[in-house]
Amino acid sequence: MEKSVFSDFNISGRKENLYPVSVTTPIHSTPMHLVRRAFQSLWRQSFGFSKIQWVIVLHNCTASYKSIIKKEFSKYENIKIAEADAPGTHVAYARNLTLREADGKYIMFLDSDDEMEKNAISEVIIGMEKTGAQAGCMAYEHVIGKLARMDFWVDASSIDGEPCVYDKGDPRIADGLCISGKALHGEIFRRDFLFKNHIYFKEDIAYVYGEDAFYSFKAFGMADKVAFFPHIKGYIYYFGLGMTCNLVNTSSDASKLAESVIDLFNHGRQCGLDLNNLLCFDIWLYRIMLSNNPKSLLLLKEFDKKISPLAAHLKPPIMQCKEKQPQADQVFASLCAAFK
């Protein structure tokens, strides 16, 4: 097994399912007004806040910041706060610690600057129980800086609000992953399934991008039964354009970003997932974000140069959700123009 905070972990001595669900959140000095927004979205859940365990891991935070978090949240019995003081580690380390500390039957994820809709947890858990799935995903609303809210990744046809349920190896699983992009937003897993199959976050990843995608692809590729809930738009993901712009500032950074995309989708293929649709949207989205960087011409040139061999093999996306086909066609047309 890879290097992991789980290396000395003995699950056999662990009490099982103290809560129906654990929501896990790594925090690295996130502004408190955003952390409070995330908390409030859990507090108002129709599922009942007391039935939700919120696992917070403070990753390389200052002493003063830790004190603020503990003062505000330690009074709640169902909030577990752990610390990860490990300089040089990335968020994968903190995410693994949240998994280790979780006591719920199901595991969900909430970034410290995002929020969940009021009925999200209740509806998705009912769906997981009804289907018996080990891995599931609801839809989410993607808020990118000042751009319009987008939901083009919601690509799974639902009949009368029923989930889409697929057995292991079904090619539609890869298309269904368009619901969450390649991230954790809206995803839910049975904790016993994750631990039994040693599905943890890749801590020795060579770059900061993609720990969530490596995890998601492995989990959805290994699950015996997968359920998608496109009718449940339960997660609100705030992606500031500044995030990628701040991480990618040199031609070397842009090249590493492209390499990470290539590695991720090679990993997806190894997990038995044909991610053509998701790859189209991913390259398109990264190009939009890079174009908002002051050094956009330099960065796009390097990113396109590195990604072009992969982009040349893209196929027109075929959407399960037919209403999304025109938008998918526009995305593909823009890629064809960029890589002609």
**Does residue 303 contact residue 258 with C-beta atoms inside 8 Å?**
yes
Give 48-99 pLDDT, tens digit per residue.
999 999 999 999 999 999 999 999 999 999 999 999 998 888 888 999 999 9
Sign (positive or negative) of CA dihedral 85, 95, 190, 222: negative
Give 114-136 pLDDT, tens digit per residue.
999 999 999 999 999 999 999 99
Other CB atoms within a 10 A radius of the CB of residue 142 amount to 23
What is the predicted pLDDT for the residue at 145? Answer: 57
Sign (positive or negative) of CA dihedral 183, 185, 187, 193: positive
How far apart (Å, rounded) are the C-alpha atoms in residues 154 and 176?
8
**In b/e form, how buried is each residue of 168-201, taking b as 16+ CB within 10 angstroms?**
eeeebbbbbbbbbbbbbbbbbbbbebbbeeebbb
Reported confidence tier of residue 192, pLDDT bands at 50, 70, 90: very high
Alpha helices in 164-250 (DSSP H): 172-176, 191-196, 211-222, 241-247
Give 75-87 pLDDT, tens digit per residue.
999 999 999 998 8
Report the predicted TM-score, pTM, of the whole model to 2 decimal places: 0.85
Reported confidence tier of residue 261, pLDDT bands at 50, 70, 90: confident
**Does residue 197 contact residue 222 with C-beta atoms inside 8 Å?**
yes
Q: Domains plus CATH for the chain?
A: 1-239 (3.90.550.10), 244-340 (no CATH)
Task: State the average pLDDT over residues 164-189.
Answer: 83
> What SS3 string covers 210-232?
CHHHHHHHHHHHHCCEEEEEEEE
How far apart (Å, rounded) are the C-alpha atoms in residues 266 and 262?
6
